[in-house]
Structure 1
């Protein structure tokens, strides 16, 4: 019999704290344009990673991270993650992916949407990989401001 998935909260918190630190290096400072773009090479393909500060409050912020594959194809949907930054706890976690409801910490399996039991930690690890790519190999693009 397969054992029920139990999340490792210590690991999950460490991943979220590391992602917060990475995002602090990549996001624009207060008062700057709320969008940063990085061109990254991923498996011999060029990908544009866009970080957009969607909401900012005293203790939390929301950031939308979008991957745009180059050359752009209308047939390939760009992955998008919504990330919540908790400034008082110094943590950042993926709260949902494109067109999904907020993620649960654990999913029974099988389920209607075919989420993995550990979907949330997998998306937070995925976020960390992309943030590392932007930090280590990304080329920041200048964002043209509207006049």
Structure 2
């Protein structure tokens, strides 16, 4: 019996270990860019955010992650209710604020449903790719897709780079 290439096995195992799941299969009823597929994307966002930040239901305060060769990543809890938590997730490009943080996303975590939705992101972007995604998202569903695909890819990148949050201080 012929085994698959090594790079396939190691990637699959790394993703399973990292996310605690095989790649999320979308429902057979879902179509690309449909509402059902969007909910599967929210679920993937939740799993990746949990791998990055730990227990999302109890996270509080300000957290930072620094890895060699990458920009400092910051997560701040901005709002909490019994069933949801609002987070701000961004890169910090300068300590003095001379360079705007980006992508400066607000993420709403739905604890009972185990979903994480990119709720909003910065109104303007310096990076042409981010600007392009924002300009092409006209309808509400398209905007949700653009924000959440960006969040999903960004979380994947942060995990691959080795980011993980440590708490700096509690919320006031």
* Fold shared, TM-score > 0.5 on shorter chain: yes
Are the structure 2 counterparts of residues 85 and 23 from structure 1 closer, same or farther at C-alpha, using a change threshold of 3 Å?
Answer: same
Distance 1:98 1:66 in 2: 10
Distance (whole Å) between structure 2 residues aligned to residue 120 and residue 33 of structure 1: 26
TM-score computed with the length of structure 2 as normaliser: 0.58
Structure 2, unpaired ranges of 5+: 1-31, 125-133
| Cα distance between partner residues in 1 of 2:60 and 2:33 | 37
Partner of 1:64: helix, strand, or coil? strand
Q: In the alignment, is the contact (CA less than 8 A) between 2:64 and 2:168 conserved in 1? A: no
Q: Displacement, 1:36? A: 2.5
Give the alignment partner of residue 23 of structure 1, picking from 40, 46, 49. Answer: 49
1:138 is displaced (CA, Å) by: 2.6
Partners of 2:155 and 2:74 lie apart in 1 by: 11
Structure 1 vs Structure 2 CA RMSD: 3.1
| Consecutive unaligned residues in structure 1, runs of 5 or more | 1-5, 101-112
Larger % of strand: which?
1
Higher-helix-fraction structure = 2
Instruction: Report deviation, 1:12.
Output: 0.8
Deviation at 1:141, TM superposition (A): 6.3
Post-superposition Cα deviations, 1:87-111, rounded to whole Å, max 9, x if no partner, equal 12111101112369xxxxxxxxxxx
In structure 2, distance between residues paired with 1:124 and 1:8: 13
**Structure 1 segments (4+ residues) deviating >6 Å:** none
Q: 2:149 aligns with which of 92, 104, 125?
A: 125
Q: Which residue of 1 aligns with 2:8?
A: none
Mapped partners of 2:112, 2:165: distance in 1: 30
Residues 89-138 of structure 1, C-alpha deviations (whole Å, 9 max, x = no match)? 111101112369xxxxxxxxxxxx95622222111111111211222213
- Cross-structure match for 1:108: none
